[in-house]
């Protein structure tokens, strides 16, 4: 561990309330902390995980952001998640102890690496940690299923609204502004994730802006009418033109 990073521990991490330490007491956190490796930063487009490689570690995002995607034989790919600080990456590989997706940095980013065999050892002694791991996986299942519903039942407008609102919430949970942030991913990434074309995403962002819901300028997004946007998601009969 380099000197410059030696002071970083779960105990003083800004995102521990979202991360694995969540349910652990100080002692337990110390145990977890001893197995965490904190590596050099990754840069934009660097791979954190390549698919089909053996699963040796899980990763917790410390700073920056990532996208994970699966790819089929035709090279067609599907972004399955965007990851922000506190998120744990790698659960989909547990089944075959082999990564089934790729994870790439969207910007300069750092992670905490948690070697899997050591995590298993620690978890052996810490029921809380085991529980926490299960909860994380369960949450992922729940989220994926909500995404399926979104894709199957909602139109392009709702999907993008949902995406923006959910980003906003995630930034807020992490102590960032809920109403003003940078989109770390491209429009193409957003479209890929939501099952829309780039063109549709772009057109909708423009339309949201014209209707005064948001302000976009490149990567910079400002959410102007969060309440209205949230309501459009709940009562999905309301659409953007009724605002």
Judged by the rule CB under 7 A, the positions of this chain that interact with DNA are: 44, 155-157, 186-188, 195-203, 205-206, 216, 218-219
The span from the CA of 155 to the CA of 151, in Å, is: 8
Query: Least Å distance between CB 186 and DNA?
Result: 3
Burial of 111-137, coded b for 16+ CB within 10 Å and e otherwise, reads bbbbebeebeebbeebeebbebbeebe
For 97: left if phi > 0, alpha if psi spans -120 to 50, otherwise beta; the answer is left
Per DSSP bridges, beta strands 180-182 and 66-71 are unpaired
* 62 vs 99, beta carbon nearer its own copies: 99
Residue 197 near which of its own copies, DNA, none (CB within 5-8 Å, type-dependent): DNA
Choose which of 194, 204, 214, 232 interacts with its own copies (CB under 8 A).
Answer: 194
Residue 100 sits in the site that holds its own copies (CB under 8 A): yes
Half-sphere exposure of 166 (CA within 13 A, CB side): 17
Binding mask 148-167 for its own copies (x = CB under 8 A): xx-xxx--------------
* 151 vs 220, beta carbon nearer its own copies: 151
List phi, psi (to 5°) of 81. Answer: -165, 150
Binding site for its own copies (CB under 8 A): 70, 72-74, 76, 78, 80, 91-95, 100-101, 120, 124, 127, 130, 133-135, 137-142, 144-149, 151-153, 192, 194-195, 234-236
């Amino acid at each position: 561990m380099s000197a410059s990073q030696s002071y970083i521990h779960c105990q003083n991490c800004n995102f521990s309330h979202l991360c694995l330490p969540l349910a652990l007491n100080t002692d337990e956190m110390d145990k977890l902390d001893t197995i965490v490796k904190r590596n050099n930063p990754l840069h934009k487009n660097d791979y954190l995980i390549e698919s089909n490689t053996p699963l040796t570690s899980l990763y917790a995002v410390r700073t920056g952001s990532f996208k994970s995607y699966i790819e089929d034989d035709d090279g067609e790919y599907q972004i399955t998640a965007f990851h922000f600080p506190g998120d744990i990456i790698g659960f989909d590989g547990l089944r075959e102890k082999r990564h089934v997706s790729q994870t790439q940095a969207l910007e300069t980013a750092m992670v905490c690496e948690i070697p899997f065999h050591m995590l298993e050892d620690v978890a052996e002694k810490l029921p809380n940690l085991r529980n926490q791991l299960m909860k994380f996986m369960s949450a992922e299942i729940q989220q994926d299923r909500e995404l399926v519903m979104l894709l199957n039942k909602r139109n392009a407008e709702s999907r993008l609204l949902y995406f923006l609102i959910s980003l906003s919430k995630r930034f807020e949970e992490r102590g960032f502004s809920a109403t003003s942030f940078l989109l770390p991913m491209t429009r193409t990434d957003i479209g890929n994730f939501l099952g829309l074309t780039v063109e549709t995403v772009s057109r909708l962002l423009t339309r949201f802006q014209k209707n005064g819901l948001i302000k976009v300028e490149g990567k910079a997004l400002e959410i102007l009418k969060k309440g209205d946007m949230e309501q459009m998601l709940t009562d999905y009969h309301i659409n953007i033109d009724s605002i």
